[in-house]
Amino acid sequence: MILLLGAVLARSVAVLPLEGEAQEAFLATEGLRDAFLVEGWTVLSDGDLDARLGEPETLDAAREYLASGRRNLDAGRTEEALTEFRASLELHDAIGSQWLRRAELADVHYFTGVALLRVNEDPSPHLASAARLVEGYEPPMGYGLGLPVVEAGGPPGEEELAWLSDRLDVDAMVLGELRAGRLTAYWVEGEVRRRASRSVRAAPFAGDVLYREMVAELMGLTIAAEVEPGPMEYREVTRSWPSEPTVTTEPEPAAVPEEPGLVVSGTSRRIDNRLGWWAPVGLAVLGASAGAAWLINASAGQGGVSSPRYTVVIETPR
């Protein structure tokens, strides 16, 4: 009975693959998913996402258009290739490949840009899309068309969110990106919009407390980050990790003028005279002891043996 009640009350969340460098983005995505599981949410897996967003026949057709377009492009039939690349893009957009199959979609955008350049049209929008979809995208060899440097795309638009929400059928969605040392996650739950962000050197592994903190903020359990319903506006909640410790050389301490004291030559020891009055008494005792030792040695017939010599110097302020 308890298990059944828990299954009924469990809420579902879709954490879509984060944008960014493939390995780092994968680690961050898994970290957020694991943190939601710890909080008792039902989290959609990649297979669940693919089943809800993807249509096998549509995906197969999009891939075939790309393959055929590349053959035409290599054969010099650029117009035919461009037509097939555009058809592939339409099919990928229809099944949400920008969320789940970024590498494939980046290839289609790249080859569309190559074809456009060959017919003297502007390829930059498609090249920028490829660069944005896959950070550090490496173009296939033999085409020699570089990619521009692009900035992070930011949160998705309302139309995209409505499309995703309708397809995924979950209580909440999490999207995000890991770029330039900043991990950002966007929370969408009905009309509620929240954002949590961290500065990171690399994506921590799943189980790191950072993900638990971010999930708590996204759920609204900690620092409030809600905004009013309407245009997509996120209030950022940030907390940076401590920076690497900086090794610095401590400056040499300033020289402190020495105070007057007693220097006993032969022992290199300074006797602090800040105690005041006992210095003259100590000097008298020291002199008496030295005299007594000399008398004892002389009376014992050891006058030819030299005893240690000490010179007592009293430093006084000038």
State how far the alpha carbon of 19 is from the alpha carbons of 34, 136, 154, in Å: 18, 11, 10
Indicate the DSSP class of residue 249: P
Q: Cα 46 vs. chain centroid, distance in angstroms?
A: 24
Give the sign of the dihedral formed by CA 101, CA 107, CA 113, CA 115: negative
Indicate the DSSP class of residue 13: E
Please state, rounded to an integer, the average pLDDT across all residues of the chain. Answer: 76
Asked if residue 45 lies in contact with residue 203, where contact means CB atoms within 8 angstroms, the answer is: no
Question: From CA 21, how far away is CA 42, in angstroms rounded?
Answer: 26
Indicate the DSSP class of residue 155: S
148-157 contacts at long range (C-beta below 8 A, 24 or more positions apart): 148/124, 152/19, 152/177, 152/179, 152/180, 152/184, 153/19, 153/177, 155/186, 155/193, 155/195, 155/232, 155/234, 156/186, 156/232, 157/232
Amino acid at 225: A
**pLDDT tens string 100-125:** 999 999 999 999 999 999 999 999 99
Reported pTM:
0.64
Q: Cα 248 vs. chain centroid, distance in angstroms?
A: 24
Q: Which residue has the higher pLDDT, 247 or 170?
A: 170
- In the structure, what pLDDT confidence band is assigned to residue 33 with cuts at 50, 70 and 90? very high
- In the structure, what pLDDT confidence band is assigned to residue 146 with cuts at 50, 70 and 90? confident
| Token couple for 192 | 């509620």
Top mean pLDDT of 61-65, 133-137, 201-205, 289-293 is at 61-65
